[in-house]
Amino acid sequence: MKRRSILLLCLAVAASATTAHASPLIEAAGPVGGNAGAQGVVSGPGAASTYFNPALLIDAGDELLLGFVLISEQMGITFDGRPAGSDVPLAVGNRGSILAPGQGGGLQPLPNSVVPTQWLSQGCPAGTQAGQCPAPGFTARPRQGQGTSGKTRSYLALGLVKSLIKDRFTLGLYGILPLSSFTTAQAFFPDEREALFSNSLHPELYGDRLTAVSVVAGAAFKLLPELSIGASVSLSLANAAASQDYVQDATNYNTLLMNTSVTTTVNVAPTAGVRWLPTSWLRIGGVLHSPESFTVNTTIDASLPTGTESGTTQSNVFDWMPWSVGVGAEAEILARGSTRMSVVASMGYAFWSGYLDRHGDSPGMYGSQFAWHDTASGAAGIRNVFGDARTFLDMRYIPSPVPEQTGRSNYVDNDRFGLSLGGDVALHLPTVIRPGIQLFADRFIPRHNTKDPSQIVDELPDGAVFSSGATLSPVPGAHGLQTNNPGWPGYSSGGWLWGGSITISVPL
Amino acid sequence: MRRPALVIALTLGTACASDAVLPDQQATATCGNRIVEPGEACDNASPGCAQCLVVPTWTCPGNVCSPICGDGVVGSGSSCQGARRDSDCDMTGYWAVRETNYACDALFHNTQTTSQWYLFQIVQSGAGFEIVADIDCGAHVTGSATVDYTLPSLRGAMYLNPMDGSTPHGRRHGTSSATAGGCAASLDRWYLVEGVTTDYLPADFSAKPSLDSLRPLPSVKDPTAPLTVSDVPGATDPDGDGFPGIAIRLAGIVSGVRDAAQRDWKEFATTPGSSIEAAALTFHFPGSFDLQENVLHVSECGTGCGLLTTGAPASMAPGRVTFSFVGKTLGSARVASVVAATPRKSADSDLATCANLRLMLPHDPAAPPGACPMAGP
């Protein structure tokens, strides 16, 4: 019997996830239904109050809410042209032949994560000749070829408000369910490492964050006629994936044997709210949201037939939301018959300085000047009631927590300034129904980031030499800064976040 | 009634953003597009242009490459068309030499292709020739793993096994003579050691002893243990890293540095009935080799650290030697484009010479069919 010489490479891959699912989607969509507008913390009691301020549920009438929601994320990213001489030269593709000065002195092999820029833009064809790569070759990853901007997503909104003890204790249920791209989690690096993957930049606080399934359940309790409190929890899914692979031939992954398993669990994150009526014409509300995230811990264990084993655990964090507080006040300034008018103002403070990106890294790792800021946002607007009809008009400003990206990191985010308007009306048919419509449009205020070359990783340091043959010959094109950082030498972003909802509410 | 609809349409239209990549401030050179761009010396499909660099012994004015005539090379016209040597089978002169060997690694059962480069200065008398000067330009291996000498190893290995008569083993000999179809050639068997003393070489190369019949190479029980040269009798440290053996860097499935004791032999000859083209500038003929290797120390362990302790490949397949004529006279245009200075006068110059050799005869990772056959049940 001839000896079978088949590579038996056993990879045991186990992935596990623990989470409290975030609600970036609910934050982006705003309160759906009623006339809460952009100020659900104090205005428009309804099913959406379950998330935005559960204490307001006490002021909401019993209702069943059904809505269709559209959110269009239209953030465009424009990349500056790369200056001459910043490409990683083709010679770097001759892996293992180049040494470069290391941080500790002396020559060190160039990291395998450095690839020629031409490979990224044009790929490397399979072959054995000069300028070719081992089969199947290296697939091109053109700059921003896999950008994720410009998506319009649709959702189903469901809400329920039911008073269990009249004027004393009320339950609420509220949820927004994506109708497509159901709960996508897409990891990407915010620096030069992303060149090896999509070689693109992605909006940091949108994209996959707008696909999170978000369901909230809560209750409000009236302590005093003028004071009520509420609490709610976000219910969401968490996934755990495990994969065991048996690689028979490391040069042919078509022979891979794989077993995978997925486990889904439910997690919760709390929200607390308060509503106070100091006078008959003034309502004050406050809310506290706990931090939330969707963390996936992936453990990989690899075993070789020789007995060699190695393993690692890496953590991905999705949909991270900070501690945040919000306060607001709504004052009725006109009450004449069935006509009423009120003005509303609110503000929020979010502790974004603790942000963890999709790889579980804090932006401060790139330097203290790149750590994210806490943000204070504000909104103001008016409310009108004309008999059975209600309308609202709000303006809001939401600053970006992302500082200017002059270094390695390329977190893409913009300040937002927007307008929202809408209303609903009670139709007295055989049963009373209340159809409504809400629209919003937020402008991503254009910003430009210009990179500081001294803050960028020089992937081919000056002094790089060929390690074999002409050992002391410098690598052509190594002088100056060479980088495949997708954000180099700068980029700008801007655009719109717009959308709306059509709702119908049936009193219970 | 149309105006509100128009306003809504325009609003939604401008609210659709898209990404854009502005043109580079200056187009970067793209090797292979047949256009000579900044940073490129040439860009065409000629054998005189490799990786957009002009191959030594060639010239590429106007992106049209042609061999350099003179100093033993003749051709017609200003572009030296039909270039050939001016002597049919006489090997006298400087040669770029690449030995190509194929081996099957025991674990992954992949073909490991090895290129080993030399500069030979050959003097022929009658049907025989001998090597009067040489530089060992190191090796490059591809396959399951990529293997290269470390920088100090390359420097240390360049002069370890001279074939120029400076050792008791004399000069390496060969033959080249005219036959009916061209030339028949051979290169005598030559034994080499690295990382051990020359005591591990056979006393008489011409006896062609097998490696297994020779004094066993030094070995250690645990290559991960911190050993020095004095701990392993017979070992040397040509790279000066403090560990016994010559340091070799591996990358790929297995990565790290291993210091090893190596011993091998190689011999080449045209097969009976075959010949090489007379006066050809570049030609090759087949040969065979054998290799022993004991790993004495491993360091900088990356992936597959345990595999670093594995020694020589399981089996060898027939290889070949390729000769490419450089010229006859040190200082001529042809030789000066390859040989940076008189061989063995300066390590830095010899390293530059080695780089030129690799450009003339680049590593070809392709293995012939059957070089590493899969064993059946």
Q: Read off the pLDDT of residues A78-137 as tens digits, 9 standing for 90 and up.
A: 999 998 889 998 888 876 567 777 665 566 778 888 999 999 999 988 776 666 777 778
Q: pLDDT band for A170, please (50, 70, 90 cuts).
A: very high
User: What does the pLDDT look like over A445-474, one tens digit per residue?
Assistant: 999 999 999 999 999 988 787 765 434 467
CA distance B329 to B313: 40
Q: List CB contacts of A111: < 8 A, sequence separation 6 or more.
A: none
Q: Are A49 and A271 in contact (CB under 8 A)?
A: no
Poorest-pLDDT segment among A21-30, A279-288, A368-377: A21-30
Residues 37-56 of B with CB under 8 A from A: 38-39, 50-51
Q: Shortest CB distance from A306 goes to which of B19, B39, B306?
A: B306
The interface predicted TM-score of the complex, written ipTM, equals 0.78
Q: Are B296 and B238 in contact (CB under 8 A)?
A: no
Q: Shortest CB distance from A95 goes to which of B106, B137, B146?
A: B146
User: What does the pLDDT look like over A126-166, one tens digit per residue?
Assistant: 776 666 777 778 899 999 988 877 888 999 999 999 999 98
pLDDT score of A260: 62
Q: pLDDT band for A19, please (50, 70, 90 cuts).
A: very low
| Cis status, amide bond into A489, omega within 30 of 0 | yes
Search chain B and give the residue with CA nearest A122: B30
CA distance A497 to B11: 12
Choose the mutation target among B7, B12, B19, B303 for the interface with A, i.e. most A CBs under 10 Å. B19
pLDDT score of B108: 67
| Phi, psi at A54, each rounded to 5° | -60, -20
What average pLDDT does this structure show over A369-381? 96
User: What does the pLDDT look like over B171-210, one tens digit per residue?
Assistant: 999 999 999 889 999 999 999 999 999 999 999 999 999 9
Q: Around A492, how many Cα atoms within 13 Å sit in the side-chain half-sphere?
A: 12
CA distance A121 to A137: 14
Search chain B and give the residue with CA nearest A251: B144
Is B155–A471 a contact, with Cβ atoms under 8 angstroms apart? Answer: yes
Q: Are B35 and B56 in contact (CB under 8 A)?
A: no
pLDDT score of A124: 87
Q: Shortest CB distance from A496 goes to which of B17, B50, B351?
A: B17
Per-domain residue ranges for chain A?
A: 9-507
Choose the mutation target among A312, A471, A481, A492 for the interface with B, i.e. most B CBs under 10 Å. A471
pLDDT score of A256: 58
pLDDT score of A180: 73
Residues 207-266 of B with CB under 8 A from A: 249, 251, 253
pLDDT score of A2: 33
User: What does the pLDDT look like over A313-322, one tens digit per residue?
Assistant: 677 888 888 9
**DSSP type of residue B38:** T
Per-domain residue ranges for chain B?
A: 85-360
| Percent of chain A clearing pLDDT 90 (strictly above) | 59
What average pLDDT does this structure show over A210-230? 91
Poorest-pLDDT segment among A47-51, A183-187, A246-250, A481-485: A246-250
Query: Which token pair is A438?
Result: 């809400």
Q: Would you say the C-alpha torsion A74, A75, A78, A79 has a positive or negative sign?
A: negative
Is A78–B109 a contact, with Cβ atoms under 8 angstroms apart? Answer: no
CA distance A438 to A499: 9
| Percent of chain A clearing pLDDT 70 (strictly above) | 81
Residues in chain B, pLDDT under 50: 1-2, 6-7, 9-10, 13, 375-377
Strands (E), A187-338: 214-224, 227-247, 257-279, 282-289, 292-303, 309-321, 324-336
pLDDT score of A353: 96
Q: pLDDT band for A12, please (50, 70, 90 cuts).
A: very low
Sheet holding A465-466, edge to edge: A107-109, A98-101, A465-466
Assigned superfamily of A9-507? Outer membrane protein transport protein (OMPP1/FadL/TodX) (2.40.160.60)
Determine the distance in angstroms separating the CA of B236 from the nearest CA of chain A, rounded to an integer. Answer: 21
pLDDT score of B271: 92
What are all long-range contacts of A266-269, with beta carbons under 8 Å and residues at least 24 apart? A266/A235, A266/A236, A266/A237, A266/A238, A267/A18, A267/A19, A267/A20, A267/A21, A267/A235, A267/A236, A267/A237, A267/A238, A268/A20, A268/A233, A268/A234, A268/A235, A268/A236, A269/A20, A269/A21, A269/A22, A269/A23, A269/A233, A269/A234
Mean pLDDT score across all residues of chain A: 84
Search chain A and give the residue with CA nearest B27: A84
pLDDT score of B250: 82
Is B21–A79 a contact, with Cβ atoms under 8 angstroms apart? Answer: yes
Is A91–B51 a contact, with Cβ atoms under 8 angstroms apart? Answer: yes
Query: Which token pair is B248?
Result: 């070799």
Determine the distance in angstroms separating the CA of B229 from the nearest CA of chain A, rounded to an integer. Answer: 23
User: What does the pLDDT look like over B312-341, one tens digit per residue?
Assistant: 566 677 899 999 999 999 988 899 888 878
- Statement: residue A1 has pLDDT above 80: no
pLDDT score of A129: 63
Determine the distance in angstroms separating the CA of A103 from the nearest CA of chain B, rounded to an integer. Answer: 16
pLDDT score of A314: 72
Q: Give the three-state DSSP class for A466.
A: strand
Residues of chain A contacting B19 with CB distance shorter than 8 Å: 76-79, 144, 147, 149-150
Q: Give the three-state DSSP class for A297.
A: strand
Is B26–A84 a contact, with Cβ atoms under 8 angstroms apart? Answer: yes
Q: pLDDT band for A5, please (50, 70, 90 cuts).
A: very low
CA distance B308 to A158: 61
Residues of chain B contacting A477 with CB distance shorter than 8 Å: 39
Is A308–B305 a contact, with Cβ atoms under 8 angstroms apart? Answer: yes
pLDDT score of A305: 55
